[in-house]
C-alpha cells in the first residue's frame, strides 16, 4: 500500500484533539496509523499535493505535519522520492506491572538522606553536566518575558510590594482566582480554604505534620518521589511502600490490604496525575475507590498534584479532591513545574485539618512573599496561562517522542521504559545486571546527570532503574545524550563492570 | 538660670554621636541637659541667634535641633518669648527587674495557639484598626523605591530569575555578601555556612527541629515572643520560662539553675539584642557567660537576632555567635524588620548542626525564591543599606521618644514601661487591677490594636502587661492613639470593669 486515504470527517472528529492545532491533529492521525501497523516501514507517505487535497489544508499545515512526524523519527525524506515510513524501532516493552502477589512489607524508618547527599556532592563536582535527572522543564518553555513584564507592572501599580508585610496565608486575589480555577478539576472550595505555601514541598510537609506524629506510619507509592521519602525521614515517620502500576498508579487492592494489616497508618500520600517517577495517571474509577477507601478507614489522603496540568489533552484529569465529600483529602500542588520554577509558589487545602494546617504554616514560615503572588494572580486571570500550558505540553510531547525513539535505539537489549501521557520523565528499567548507581557514576563522568532508582525506594527494589528526563527543546542534544548514555550502558554490560563504581576505570579510558 | 553656655568642643567631642547629623547631636546634648536636671522646667532655652553663635551652626541646624526637642515634648514655644523647657513629665518608673527569688517552674507544653487565634479573629473584624501591636515599622521607613528599581534592574540583567529554578540553600552572591557583612558582628563563617530561609521564623523552626524531638524541653525568656511559643507548640515541645530583665535580658543565674535541675533541656532560645517584648540588650559580659554556660552544659543555644541593627548608635552590638568557639550557637536572623518586610528573607547558621539544618531546609521548602535574594545582594554590596539603617533608627528613636512622653501623660498612675535602646516596642505594665485582655477588647472597639501580655507567657504572669509599638512616622497620630488608649484604661479602672470584657459596655456608651 503506497498511500492511505482518509475521510475528512475522520481527522476532525476526534474529540480529544479539538484543542490541538490542525497540523498536530493530522500528524497524530498518521502517527496512530503507523503505530497500528496500518502504515508500515518503507510505505510511501502521501505527496504534499495529495495531502493538501485530501485533508483540505494549506501547504504550511501539510509541511508542518510532516515536520512533526520527521522529528519524532516516524518518517524520513528520501531525495527526489518524497517521504517514507521509517524502519520500525526495536520494540522495547513497557515497564512491567507490579506482581499482584507482591504485598506491602513492613513499615520502615526512611534512611534515604545519606544516599541523596552522596549524589548531591557528586553533582556539585560536575556543575556543567546536562541534567537528565530533573522534573523541571527547559527555561525557554516558561513564559519568562510575560512574567517579567507582569512583575514590572505589579511594582508600578503597588510599589510597596517588597516593603510592606503581606497578609497571612497569601494574597487574597490569588487565593480567590485559584478557588475559581480549581472548579475545573472538580474541587469546590472557597478562597479562605486555600493557603499559599513555599512550593508544593512545603504543602506536603504541612499536610504530614497536620495528621501525623513522629513514629507514625505513612503509606506511599513504590517507586516514590525521593523528596517525599526525605520529608518522611526528616519528620521521623515510617514509610510503608505500596506497589504502583506504571499505567494506573497506586495499587488500590494492595493499599486496602495494608490498611487492614497496619492499623498504625495515619496517612496515604499519592501523586494521582503523572506519578513521579512512573508517569502514571490514575483512572477516575481508581480515584473514586481510593478516596472511598481512605474515607472508610478514617485515614488522611494527601494528594500531591503538581503535574496535573501537564497531562496531554484537555480537559486535564481530575484531582482526587474532586471525589472528597468529608474532608479526607488534603490537596497539595504548585506552579513550580507548570509555570515558573523560580517563583516557588504552591498551595494547600487541608481538608478537615485545614485550621491545623493554617496554624502550622503560620508557625513555620508565616505568609509567602507577596510580589510573585500578585504576578501570578494577574497571569491566571487572563487566557495567557492556558495558552502557555498548551505550548508547554506540545513541546514536552515532542521531546518525549524523540527521546523514546532515541532510548529504543541506543539502550541495551532488555531495557524497558514507560510511555507517560505528559511531563518529561521516563522510568527506565535497565537489564538486571546493570546497576543504576554504577551507570550514574559513569554518566556523570561523561557530563550527564541521571537519577538512579536507588533513591526512589527504601527497599532496594529499583536499583536497576533510572529516572530519565528530556530537559531540553534541542532535540539533537537529547539524541546525543541518550546515545552516549546508551553506549555507556552497553559497554558496562559487555565489560561486566556494571555493578562497580566505574570512576577510576572511565578516567583511565580517557587517558 | 536662663541660658546655658557650652564649650564648642563639648558638643563635637562625644564619640558615640559622630555618625549623627549635627542638629541631632545638638538636640541630644540639650536632651541630656534636661534629663540630668541641668536645665529645669520653665528655663528659657537660648535664642536662635545665641544658639547659632555658641555652636557655630546655621539657622537651619538651630531650627532643626529645636524642632526635634519640641517634637519629643521637652521644650515648648511661647509666643513672642522664645523656647522654654516644659513641665516635667510625671515620672513613670521603669518596669521592675524580675524577682531574684523567682526560679523557673516546671516545663510546660505550650497552649498559646487558641489565645492567639481568638485575637486574630478579633483583629479581622476590625481591619481598619491602627496596629499598635506589631514589630514592623511604617512602610515609609523602608527603601521602597530603591528596592523597586533594584528589582527592575535585576530582571533586566537576568530575565529568567522567575522561571529558572534557583540553587539549593540560596543565591551564592547573597550568601557571600552576608558572610562578609557579619564579620562586623563578630561572626566568622563562610558563605556555605549561610542557609537562606523564609524569614527568621523558618530559621528558628529549623534550628529547633535540628536539636530537639517532640516532648523535649526548651528554655525560653519570660516574657517571650509569642511566635516562638507557637513554634514550640506546633513542634510538640515543652517551654521552660526563664525570667528576663528589662535591661539586660535573660537572667543567666536563673538559666544556670534551670540547667542543673532540668537535665531534659535540649535548647535555649534567646533574643540577645532588643529582646521581644522587653527591648533589652544583653551586655557583652552576659553574652560571653551565656555562651560559656550552654557550651559547658552541651545544650544548643539558638540565637534569634533580627533586631540587632535597630539598636541605637554604631557599631551595633555583637551577636552571641561572636563568642561561640565550638558550634554551640545556632544563629538565626532576617531582613524582615530592618529592610523589607515584604521580601521574607532570613538566614541561619546551624553551628555544629549545620548539615542537619541543611537537610531539614531542603526537605521542608527547598531553596528560596531567587529574585528577592539577588535584589538584596545588590543592596547590601553598596552603602545604601547602612544609610537606610541610620535613617530608620533615627526615625524610630523619634517615634519612641514621642510615644514615651505620650504614655507618661496619658496612662493611669501605677503604669510602668521600658525605655528600649532601639526598635519600636514598649513593654507596658498596667496597674495590677487592669486586665490587658479587657483593654485589648476595648481598644479594638475604639479602632486600636494592641498586643496583650497574655500571649507572651504560658504562666499568666504578664496578664496586666501590653506590648505597645509606635508604628507610624506621623507623631500626631501616635499622640492621639496613646491619648485614647490611656483614657480607655483610666475609665476602665474608675468603673471597676477592668477585668471584664467591655465590648457590650463600650457599644452602649456609643449609643
Here the CATH number for the domain that contains residue A330 is: 3.40.640.10
CA distance to A165, A166, A405, B131, B159, per residue, from A160 (Å)? 9, 10, 51, 18, 22
A163–B342 C-beta distance less than 8 A: yes
Express each pLDDT in A331-355 by its tens digit: 999 999 999 999 999 999 999 999 9
Query: Is A165 close to B213, i.e. CB distance below 8 A?
Result: no
Residue B448 lies in a domain: yes
CA distance B121 to B184: 42
Where are the alpha helices (H) located in B276-369, listed in sequence order? 284-297, 354-365
Q: Considering B385, B409, B432, which residue would you say is the last residue of a domain?
A: B385
> For residue B484, what is the domain's CATH number?
3.90.1150.10
Question: What's the confidence (pLDDT) of residue A19?
Answer: 63
Query: SS3 for A74-124, per residue?
Result: CEEEECCCEEEECCCCCCCCCCCCCCCCCCCCCCEECCCHHHHHHHHHHHH
Residues A399 and A377 in one domain: no
The CA-based angle B50-B55-B60, given to 5 degrees, is: 80
Beta bridge partners of B268: B219, B301
**pLDDT at position B96:** 85
Taking an 8 Å cut-off on Cβ atoms, the answer to whether A164 and B113 are in contact is no
Q: How far apart are CA A238 and CA A235, in angstroms?
A: 9
Count CB neighbours of B157 within 10 A: 10
The predicted model gives A207-233 an average pLDDT of 96
pLDDT of residue A88: 56
- A41, A91, A18, A87: which is closest to A28 by C-alpha? A18
Q: Do B163 and A147 touch (CB under 8 A)?
A: yes
Q: Strand ranges (DSSP E) for A234-391?
A: 238-245, 249-250, 265-270, 300-304, 329-334, 345-349
**Global ipTM:** 0.85
Beta-bridged to residue A445, according to DSSP, are: none
Tell whether A146 and A132 lie within a shared domain.
Answer: no
Give the domain range for residue B412: 108-139+387-510
Q: Could you tell me which of A510, A418, A507 has the C-alpha nearest to residue A467?
A: A418
Query: Is the pLDDT assigned to residue A10 strictly greater than 60?
Result: no
Residue A167 lies in a domain: yes
Q: Dump pLDDT digits (tens) for A74-93.
A: 888 888 889 998 865 545 67
Does residue A124 lie within any of the structural domains?
A: yes
Residue A100 lies in a domain: no
Residue A74's pLDDT is 82
Average pLDDT value for residue range A484-490: 96
Q: Examine residue A349 and say whether the peptide bond preceding it is cis (omega within 30 degrees of 0).
A: no
Three cell numbers written together for A113: 538522606
> Contact at 8 Å (CB) between A345 and A196?
yes
* Residue A52 pLDDT: 94
Interface contact A205-B340, CB threshold 8 A:
no
Asked which of A22-31, A168-177, A301-310, B492-501 is least confident by mean pLDDT, the reply is B492-501
Question: Which range has the worst mean pLDDT, A2-6, A204-208, A330-334, A438-442?
Answer: A2-6
Query: Peptide bond before B227: cis, by omega within 30 degrees of 0?
Result: no
* Of the candidate ranges A304-308, A320-324, B121-125, B320-324, the one whose mean pLDDT is the lowest: B121-125
Nearest to B365 among A144, A201, A360 (CB): A201
Q: Are residues A416 and A455 in the same domain?
A: yes
Same domain, A380 and A404: no
pLDDT higher than 70, residue A237: yes
Task: Please return the burial class of B445, using the count of CB atoms within 10 Å of its CB with bins 0-12, 13-18 and 19+.
Answer: buried
Phi, psi for residue A502 in degrees, rounded to 5: -100, 10
Residue A175, classified by CB atoms within 10 Å of its CB into exposed (0-12), middle (13-18) or buried (19+), is buried
Question: End of a domain among B370, B385, B400?
Answer: B385
DSSP secondary structure letter of residue B319: P
Closest CB to B165: pick one of A145, A202, A341: A341
Minimum-distance CB partner of B144 among A163, A236, A370: A163
Give yes or no: residues B374 and B404 share one domain: no
Q: What is the pLDDT of residue A497?
A: 65
d(CA A51, CA A48): 5
Taking contacts as CB-CB distances below 8 angstroms, the residues of chain B near A161 are 342
Q: Look at chain A and report how many structural domains it folds into.
A: 3
**Cβ atoms of B264 and B216 closer than 8 Å:** yes
Q: What's the CA dihedral at B303, A371, B234, B275 to 10 degrees?
A: 30
Q: Please indicate, yes or no, whether residues A18 and A35 belong to a single structural domain of this protein.
A: yes
| A21 DSSP 8-state letter | -
Judge: B364–A234 Cβ closer than 8 Å, yes or no.
Answer: yes
Q: What is the pLDDT along chain B (511 residues), one digit of tens a residue?
A: 333 433 333 333 344 445 678 998 898 888 888 777 788 888 899 999 999 999 999 999 999 999 888 877 788 888 888 999 886 554 566 788 888 777 777 888 888 888 988 998 898 899 899 999 999 999 899 999 999 999 999 999 999 999 999 999 999 999 999 999 999 889 999 999 999 999 999 999 999 999 999 999 999 999 999 999 999 999 999 999 999 999 999 999 999 999 999 999 999 999 999 999 999 999 999 999 999 999 999 999 999 999 999 999 889 999 999 999 999 999 999 999 999 999 999 999 999 999 999 999 999 999 999 999 999 999 999 889 999 999 999 999 999 988 998 998 899 988 999 989 999 999 999 999 999 999 999 999 999 999 999 999 998 899 999 999 999 999 999 999 999 999 999 999 998 865 544 343 333 333 3
- Compare CB distances from A340 to B120, B136, B162 and report the shortest one's residue: B162
Q: Which of A155, A165, A360 sits opposite B341 (nearest CB)?
A: A165
> Within 10 Å of residue A298's Cβ, how many Cβ atoms?
9
Q: Which three cell numbers stand for residue A226?
A: 525521593
Q: List the single best residue of B155, B165, B172, B361 to mutate versus A (max A Cβ within 10 A).
A: B165
Q: Are residues A145 and A135 in the same domain?
A: no
Per DSSP, chain A holds a count of helices (H) and strands (E) of 17, 17
Is the pLDDT score of A70 beyond 90?
A: no
Q: pLDDT tens, A36-67?
A: 778 888 889 999 999 999 999 999 999 999 98
Q: For A95, phi and psi rounded to 5 degrees?
A: -60, 140
Q: Is the same domain home to B399 and B264?
A: no
pLDDT at B78 (0 to 100): 86
Is pLDDT of A506 > 90?
A: no
- Within a 10 A sphere around the Cβ of A79, how many other Cβ atoms? 5
CB contact under 8 A, A365 and B365: yes
Q: Does one domain contain both A279 and A428? A: no
Cβ-Cβ contacts under 8 Å, A145 against chain B: 159
Say if A267 falls within a structural domain: yes
A221 and A256 share one domain: yes
Query: Cβ–Cβ contacts within 10 Å for residue B351, how many?
Result: 24
Q: Is A173 left (phi over 0), alpha (psi -120 to 50) or beta?
A: alpha
Instruction: Identify which of A136, A163, A360 has the shortest CB distance to residue B147.
Output: A163
* φ, ψ of residue B9 in degrees (nearest 5): -55, -35
Cα A92 to Cα A185, A362, A400, A470: the distances in Å are 34, 50, 15, 18
Question: Are residues B125 and B206 located together in one domain of the fold?
Answer: no
Q: Please report how the helices A113-125 and A436-445 are oriented relative to each other, as an axis angle in degrees rounded to 10.
A: 20
Give contacts of A168 with chain B, Cβ < 8 Å: 120
- Comparing CA positions, the residue from B221, B229, B227 lying closest to residue B270 is B221
Q: What is the mean pLDDT of chain A?
A: 89
Secondary structure (3-state) at A394: helix
Q: To probe the interface with B, which of A143, A159, A163 has the most B CB atoms within 10 Å?
A: A163
Is A147 in the same domain as A130? no
Q: What is the pLDDT of residue B41?
A: 80
Least CA distance to A204: which residue of chain B?
B364
Answer whether B162 sits within 8 Å of A342, measured CB to CB. yes
Q: Which residues of A touch B202 (CB under 8 A)?
A: 364-365
Task: Give tens-digit pLDDT for A413-425.
Answer: 889 999 899 999 9
- Assess if residue A91 is contained within a domain: no
- Closest chain A residue to the Cα of B199, Cα to Cα: A365
Secondary structure (H, E, C), A156-189: HHCHHHCCCCCCCCCCHHHHHHHHHHHHHHCCCC
Domain assignment present for A93: no
pLDDT tens column, A381-415: 988 999 999 999 999 999 998 899 899 889 998 89
Q: Which residue, among A504, A395, B212, B365, has the nearest Cα to B220 in the 3D structure?
A: B212
DSSP character for B326?
S
- Residue in B143, B162, B201 nearest the CB of A148: B162
* Residues B373, B300, B205: CA angle, nearest 5 degrees: 40
CATH of the domain at B15: 1.10.10.10
Is B101 within the bounds of a domain?
Answer: no
**Which residues from chain A sit within 8 angstroms of residue B369, using beta carbons?**
342-344, 369, 372
State the Cα–Cα distance between residues B235 and B220, nearest whole angstrom: 15
Among all chains, which residue has been given the C-alpha cell 517588597? A162
Tell me what pLDDT residue A109 has: 86
**DSSP codes joined into one string, B159-179:** GGGTTSPPPTTS-HHHHHHHH
pLDDT of residue B19: 63
Task: Look at A17-26, A271-280, B206-215 and tell me which has the smallest mean pLDDT.
Answer: A17-26
Residue A298, pLDDT > 90, answer yes
Residue with cell 516545663: B107
CA A159 to chain centre: 37
Q: Give which of A226, A222, A224, A227 is closest to A244, Cα–Cα.
A: A222
Min Cα separation B155/chain A (Å): 7
Query: Residues of A with CB below 8 A from B201's CB?
Result: 363-366
Residues in A closer than 8 angstroms to B143, CB to CB, are 163
Amino acid at each position: 500500500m503506497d498511500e492511505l486515504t482518509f475521510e475528512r470527517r475522520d481527522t476532525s472528529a476526534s474529540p480529544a484533539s479539538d484543542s490541538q492545532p490542525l497540523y498536530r491533529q493530522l500528524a497524530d492521525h498518521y502517527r496512530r496509523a503507523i503505530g497500528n501497523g496500518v502504515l508500515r516501514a518503507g510505505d510511501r507517505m502521501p505527496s504534499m499535493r495529495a495531502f493538501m487535497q485530501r485533508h483540505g489544508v494549506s501547504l504550511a499545515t501539510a509541511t508542518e505535519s510532516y515536520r512533526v512526524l520527521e522529528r519524532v523519527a516516524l518518517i524520513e525524506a528520501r531525495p527526489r522520492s518524497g517521504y517514507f515510513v521509517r524502519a520500525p524501532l526495536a520494540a522495547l516493552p513497557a515497564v512491567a506491572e507490579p506482581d499482584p502477589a507482591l504485598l506491602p512489607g513492613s513499615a520502615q524508618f526512611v534512611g534515604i538522606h545519606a544516599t541523596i547527599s552522596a549524589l548531591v556532592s557528586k553533582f556539585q563536582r560536575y556543575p556543567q553536566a546536562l541534567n537528565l535527572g530533573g522534573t523541571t522543564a527547559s527555561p525557554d518553555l516558561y513564559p519568562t518575558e510575560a512574567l517579567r513584564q507582569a512583575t514590572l507592572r505589579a511594582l508600578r501599580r503597588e510599589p510597596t510590594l517588597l516593603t510592606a508585610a503581606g497578609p497571612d496565608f497569601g494574597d487574597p486575589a490569588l487565593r480567590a482566582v485559584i478557588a475559581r480555577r480549581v472548579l475545573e478539576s472538580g474541587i469546590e472550595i472557597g478562597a479562605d480554604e486555600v493557603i499559599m505555601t513555599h512550593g508544593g514541598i512545603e504543602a506536603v510537609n504541612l499536610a504530614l505534620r497536620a495528621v501525623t506524629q513522629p513514629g507514625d506510619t505513612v503509606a506511599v507509592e513504590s517507586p516514590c518521589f525521593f523528596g517525599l521519602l526525605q520529608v518522611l525521614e526528616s519528620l521521623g515517620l515510617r514509610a510503608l511502600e505500596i506497589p504502583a502500576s506504571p499505567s494506573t498508579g497506586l495499587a488500590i487492592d494492595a493499599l486496602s490490604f495494608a490498611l487492614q494489616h497496619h492499623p498504625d497508618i495515619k496517612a496515604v500520600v499519592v501523586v494521582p496525575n503523572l506519578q513521579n517517577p512512573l508517569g502514571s495517571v490514575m483512572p477516575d474509577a481508581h480515584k473514586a475507590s481510593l478516596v472511598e477507601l481512605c474515607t472508610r478507614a478514617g485515614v488522611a489522603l494527601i494528594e500531591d498534584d503538581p503535574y496535573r496540568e501537564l497531562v496531554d489533552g484537555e480537559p486535564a484529569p481530575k484531582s482526587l479532591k474532586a471525589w472528597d465529600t468529608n474532608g479526607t483529602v488534603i490537596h497539595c500542588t504548585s506552579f513550580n513545574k507548570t509555570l515558573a520554577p523560580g517563583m516557588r509558589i504552591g498551595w494547600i487545602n487541608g481538608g478537615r485539618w485545614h485550621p491545623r494546617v493554617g496554624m502550622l504554616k503560620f508557625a513555620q514560615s508565616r505568609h509567602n512573599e507577596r510580589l510573585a503572588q500578585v504576578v501570578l494572580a494577574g497571569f491566571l486571570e487572563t487566557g495567557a496561562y492556558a495558552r502557555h500550558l498548551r505550548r508547554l505540553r506540545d513541546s514536552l510531547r515532542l521531546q518525549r517522542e524523540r527521546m523514546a525513539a532515541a532510548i529504543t535505539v541506543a539502550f541495551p537489549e532488555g531495557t524497558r521504559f514507560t510511555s507517560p501521557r505528559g511531563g518529561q520523565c521516563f522510568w527506565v528499567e535497565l537489564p538486571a545486571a546493570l546497576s543504576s548507581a554504577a551507570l550514574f557514576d559513569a554518566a556523570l563522568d561523561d557530563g550527564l546527570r541521571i537519577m538512579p532508582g536507588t533513591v526512589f525506594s527504601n527497599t532496594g527494589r529499583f536499583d536497576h532503574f533510572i529516572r530519565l528526563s528530556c530537559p531540553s527543546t534541542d532535540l539533537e542534544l537529547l539524541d546525543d545524550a541518550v546515545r552516549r548514555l546508551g553506549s555507556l550502558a552497553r559497554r558496562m554490560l559487555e565489560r561486566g563492570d556494571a555493578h562497580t563504581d566505574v570512576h577510576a576505570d572511565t578516567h583511565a579510558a580517557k587517558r
